[in-house]
Chains A and B, each alone.
Chain A
Amino acid sequence: MLRQKVVIVRSLAVAAAATLTIGLSACAQEEGGGAAGGEGSLSEVRLALVPGGAHPYFQPWQQAGKDAQTDFGLAGVTFNETGGWDQSKQNDVINSLVANGYNAFGIFGVSPTDINSTFKMLKGSGIATASIASCPAGETNEADFCLSTDVEIAAYTAAQAAIEAMGGSGVLVHLTGNNVDSNTQRRIEGVKKAVDETDGAVTVLPDVTDIDKDLTTAQKAVADLLAAQGSQINGIVSTAYNPSVAAATAVADSKLDIKLVAIDDDETILTAIKEGSVYATVAQNPVGQAYVGSWALAQLASKACTVKQPGVVVDSGSFLVTKDNVATYDDERQAASKKLKSLFSDSLLNCK
């Protein structure tokens, strides 16, 4: 028993000593670390684009980041999707990037209710910070700005299009993502608002949530839905990427007369729109978010500009794509991105 005590006490003592040693080492090093901003040119800006985790929506960010680096002459751009859809892990990734000298961050926060704490910490260290593709929950945005699709408006537009395709009446289903995400709750609100406007002509089945984890999960959920209730459903509105792709294939294969309005512009969805099995999709603007966001962040990080209204929320746009404009919608989107950049330079930033 005595030996056991000795071992345990020693083990704890060694662990405490190790912690203290690391702490003291850190204390000695901390002065040289971090990435506090200083006035300089764009060539001193190291930009990190940090999605919440791996997801097809964010893949265009990689090329947009590279383009931004070349076009604006940034010192470096990195794309890091190792956050694993966990706010703690994403915070770890961000902290590591700061320690590596990155001084501008475009972040899709995993938890909209928590990400403000991260923004506050970054801004407190003099780092340019933007919330990209999703804004923090509530009225406050601690980042310099938020550049995102207004998810409630996008969901409302998609639901309206689905109801129109259904002929103004019938049964609608809403497929969406993570139920515990406040943005999902806003999407649900957007769909509900469009349904409420029909005065009962359209009824909505219980929302099918948590199926945006991956394509397999979405495919299984959509197959189960169509097998169980396919004959009663007149319309489907999907406000998440993977369910949209899954539903586009499943509805076409089922030969059921279901009007589907999807979200985003995966090739599967665009092909289905051309073939007529999908009525429409609401495309977002991930390239514009990353490219224009990178430019604005670079201006802030180099101290060339400041934000007139810190925390300003900017809608990056959503575009209803039907058979009529499927070939040309990207031109519309690129034009919107140019306008966004002008909006930043002319109205949202104060530049020297």
Chain B
Amino acid sequence: MTSTLKSGSSAHLQAGALRRFVATPSFFLLVIIFVLVIVLGSIKPAFFNGPFVIAPLLTGISIFTVVGLSQMVVLSIGHMNLAVGPMAAFGAMFMGLSYELWDLPLVLGLALGILAGAAMGALSGWLVARTGVNSFIVTLAMSFALIGLVPTVYSWLSAGSAFTVKPDGLDEIGRSSFSAICVNGACGSNAIPLIVIPALGVMLLIGYLYSHTRLGRELLMTGSNVDAAQLSGIPTGRRIVLVHSLSGALAALAGFLLAASTGSFTPGIGQEFMLQSFVGPILGGTLLAGGYVSVTGTLLGITLTLVIRKGLDLFGVGLETLNVLLGVILLIALSSDQIRLFFGRRRTRRPAQVDRTSPPPGPKLAQPSVPEEISA
């Protein structure tokens, strides 16, 4: 009897979790992506070309997911980082310097670049926490400063505005696939690039931070209600510095992955990061106002935009049409999410639960961000 009750309770719990997952933006995105992949693949079988479509697509998804996570961590406390791209360029610049001028091995250069990115993020966070100035303003100013600084350093220290020395392993991370890994004569697929490994590692770490640690809960609490967080004894100023540092470190890592995939470290790294850094997390359900994040949602949000772009590329859509279609499809995706929430509410006929596990309330997705101003 007891075991039956336990079993029933467990089944009920699982069914509840499933219902909850089905109600998340992540599930909805997954469905849209699945349908898109099937439709695109049916009309254009070339969509399933391993080395020339799937592998580049997964490479883009890996890089931009890290970019999205870099923005997501600051969104978790209701802030934003407009300097994601320039911080990526700054971190990547240190990596390039490490390899070209200081002859450091891959891992040391990578660590140094990530530290540089983190330091730049920490400076942003410290300025926000210390002065109470809106993170929008601080990171915008930081962005301008870095956009000026990075090309200047490149022009001083490199020939042709690029660091081109490649340490052992850089090409393998950026351009190799699992086909290079063979066990007992059986090799992996050339459709899956090795660059997915660091991206998955980062996803797991960030997911673990927010779902399994007290620190993650404190960050979400700070994003939900900074006053309540302070009254609960959370050192919100230090948490702000921490997330901005983390954002800078992730941006630098994304810069590294981009450099590894394209071939060299240039000041142009990160120029395309800002829009994607917001699109991924927001499509995935992360709230601009803070307090709710979704790592999987960020991955799926990025995946959706890149699958759409890849599909349009394959159909040879022209530049103007491509931009218009991208905008329209993303608007439809966001609107569909609102429709899903509307019907979901009607079906359940009960007030939406406001807890960490429920998806974010629909209207909040469209609300403008009002970042909290916090004094240290």
Contact = CB atoms under 8 A, between A and B. Distances in A.
A26 B272 contact: no
Given A92-B310, A111-B264, A3 B54 contact: no
Contacts of A249: none
A41 to B, nearest CB: 23
Contact of B21 (A10, A32, A179): A10
Given A27-B189, A82-B318, A33 B50 contact: yes
A182 B261 contact: no
Nearest to B321: A82
Contacts of A146: none
Given A7-B357, A18-B30, A82-B313, A23 B261 contact: no
Contact of B54 (A10, A26, A82, A137): A26
Contacts of A182: 159-162
Contacts, number: 203
Contacts of B52: 33-34, 95-96, 98-99
Contact of B314 (A4, A96, A113): A96
Contacts of B263: 111, 113-114, 116-117
B191 A4 contact: no
Interface in B250-292: 258, 261-264, 266-268, 271-272
A137 B21 CA distance: 50
Interface in A54-110: 54, 78, 80-82, 84, 86-89, 91-93, 95-96, 98-101
Nearest to A13: B296
A33 B258 CA distance: 26
A5 interface: yes
A8 B189 contact: no
A16 B65 CA distance: 14
Nearest to A29: B48
B169 to A, nearest CB: 15
B84 to A, nearest CB: 15
A98 to B, nearest CB: 5
A114 B263 CA distance: 5
Contact of B46 (A5, A15, A100, A180): A100
Interface in B54-91: 54-56, 58, 60, 63
Contacts of A18: 30, 33-34
Nearest to B211: A8
Contacts of A10: 17, 21
Q: Which residue of A6, A95, A98 has the most chain B CB atoms within 10 A of its CB atom?
A: A95
A78 to B, nearest CB: 7
Nearest to A17: B30
Give the interface residue-count category, chain A.
35 or more
Contacts of B154: 180
Majority SS of interface residues in chain B? helix
Interface string B29-50: 0100110010001001111111
A6 B175 CA distance: 34
B213 to A, nearest CB: 12
Contact of B211 (A5, A22, A125): A5
Interface in A95-150: 95-96, 98-101, 111-114, 116-117, 121, 125, 137-138
Given A30-B49, A180-B151, A111 B266 contact: yes
Contacts of A80: 316
Interface string B290-321: 00001111011000000001100110111100
B212 interface: yes
A185 interface: yes
B207 A12 contact: yes
B356 interface: yes
Interface in A275-293: none
Contacts of A11: 21, 24, 26, 294-297
Nearest to A186: B160
A5 B45 contact: no
Contact of A30 (B26, B190, B357): B190
A81 B319 contact: yes
Contacts of B190: 27, 30
A25 B317 CA distance: 25
B191 A23 contact: yes
B276 to A, nearest CB: 11
A25 B161 contact: no
B191 A99 contact: no
B369 to A, nearest CB: 24
A117 B155 contact: no
Tell me which of A30, A32, A181 has the highest count of chain B C-beta atoms within 10 A of its own C-beta.
Answer: A30
Nearest to B317: A82
B161 A180 contact: yes
A236 to B, nearest CB: 22
A2 to B, nearest CB: 8
A138 B187 CA distance: 35
9 contacts: A7-B24, A8-B211, A22-B191, A25-B48, A87-B262, A91-B262, A100-B316, A114-B266, A138-B164
Interface of B: 13-14, 16-17, 20-21, 24, 26, 30, 33-34, 37, 41, 44-56, 58, 60, 63, 151, 154-155, 159-162, 164, 175, 189-192, 196, 200, 203-204, 207, 211-212, 258, 261-264, 266-268, 271-272, 294-297, 299-300, 309-310, 313-314, 316-319, 322, 356-357
Given A34-B52, A91-B56, A138-B160, 17 more contacts: A3-B20, A6-B13, A6-B17, A7-B17, A11-B21, A15-B296, A23-B54, A23-B191, A25-B41, A88-B258, A99-B52, A100-B314, A101-B46, A137-B164, A179-B161, A180-B161, A184-B161
Interface of A: 2-8, 10-12, 14-16, 18-19, 22-30, 32-34, 54, 78, 80-82, 84, 86-89, 91-93, 95-96, 98-101, 111-114, 116-117, 121, 125, 137-138, 179-182, 184-185
